[in-house]
A = this chain, B = another copy of it.
Amino acid sequence: MVQFSTRMDLLKGSEIRELLKLTAQPDIISFAGGMPAPELFPVEQMMEASRAVLEENGRAALQYSSTEGHPRLRQQIAERMLAKNNIHTDADHILVTSGSQQGLDFSARVFLNPGDVVLLESPSYLGAVNAFKACEPRFIEVPTDNGGMIMEELEKILATTERVKMIYVIPDFQNPTGRTWDLERRHQFMEIVNRYEIPVIEDNPYGELRFEGEYLPALKSLDTKGLVIYLGTFSKILAPGYRIGWVCAEEHILAKYNFMEQAASLQASTIGQMETSKWIDMFDLDAHVATIRACYDKRRKVMLETLERELPEGCTFTHPVGGLFAWVVLPEYMDAKELQMKCLEKKVAFVPGGSFFPNGNHENTLRLNYSCMPEEKIVQGITALCQTIRENLR
């Protein structure tokens, strides 16, 4: 008889992915996904990069290549991490993965036995929770405030919890809340982590998409004990369609990720890596990111202005200074899943927030994405959402 493994009892389809199917009709105003704006993809330039790769090096591009990744790309990633995140590293400390989702999966498999404890922000990225679940850990949610993870709470949990094997955090423009940790909190965090010597997974897909204020150093750049494993991706600054992400970590840790990659998929796409690398060499990634930033900033402003104007009393929302998401907390009695069904009738979609809490509850929350809709649709959609909330106030 066909018997599945116990891990399969824990894995369900991502609610977001299911919801995205519902929202695929073109007339839906969707704040549900976390996708980059496709109208900003440099399609013409990608054609040039692709032609150059196949012309200059076609056979190599279509062949198997090393597990570690394309050498030139790893070098470009290392240079970019220095320029943007003040992380001093080199190509030998980079492993290219099939999107940073694969980096999340590998992180779980490198560190977690069933029953081990993962600490994460409450709420946290659903895709990470899903990847970790396949290793059957216990999740402990660290309380947060508007500045992100609360360090006193982290300290308390670490002081009283056995088997904490890793801490997963998104310090910049977090998914789903849009919150960012300030510099003091980053230093506090590293001080605590250094004391307990727990590996940290720093997930930074949105770091370059800052609209206001100063760039803050990545945790990895403050890491003196080699505890931080940094996950990066080209999905939000170039294009997700290639599935190119990376892991940056100390050598003895990265070696384990490398073994996982060999077992899991041998390597990331050779041609995808080479085209990404070639595009970076031929064109101006900084200028491209500036274009993305300008576009999302406008959309964010419109969303926040509309929320400010339309969201009924008793509800709150975050004020992200970068990234793709804002987060709304409804009155406690309100269920965002029910709200979602009512909004779908009005052709407006978002993600109910409950699934971002691995241990459940918080059904009165929701996530809004602003990167994918033009401004007039944002006004229209947020107005309809707020109207629906108003209709359901007690």
Contacts and interface: CB of A to CB of B under 8 A. Distances in A.
Interface of A: 1-8, 11-14, 17, 21, 33, 35-36, 38-39, 41, 43, 46-47, 50-51, 54-55, 58-67, 97-99, 101-102, 105, 109-113, 116, 127, 130-131, 133-135, 165, 197, 199, 227, 235, 239-243, 253, 256, 258-260, 262-272
A264 B105 contact: yes
The copy count of this chain in the complex is 2
A98 to B, nearest CB: 5
Nearest to A98: B265
Contacts of A264: 101-102, 105, 131, 134, 264
A41 to B, nearest CB: 4
Given A109-B7, A263-B130, A54 B43 contact: yes
Which of A113, A227, A266: most chain B CB closer than 10 A? A266
A47 B57 CA distance: 12
Nearest to A225: B2
Contact of A110 (B5, B21, B38, B63): B5
A262 B11 CA distance: 9
A38 B17 contact: no
A47 to B, nearest CB: 5
Contact of A62 (B1, B7, B227, B240): B240
Contact of A50 (B54, B242, B262): B54
Which of A35, A262, A268: most chain B CB closer than 10 A? A262
A225 to B, nearest CB: 9
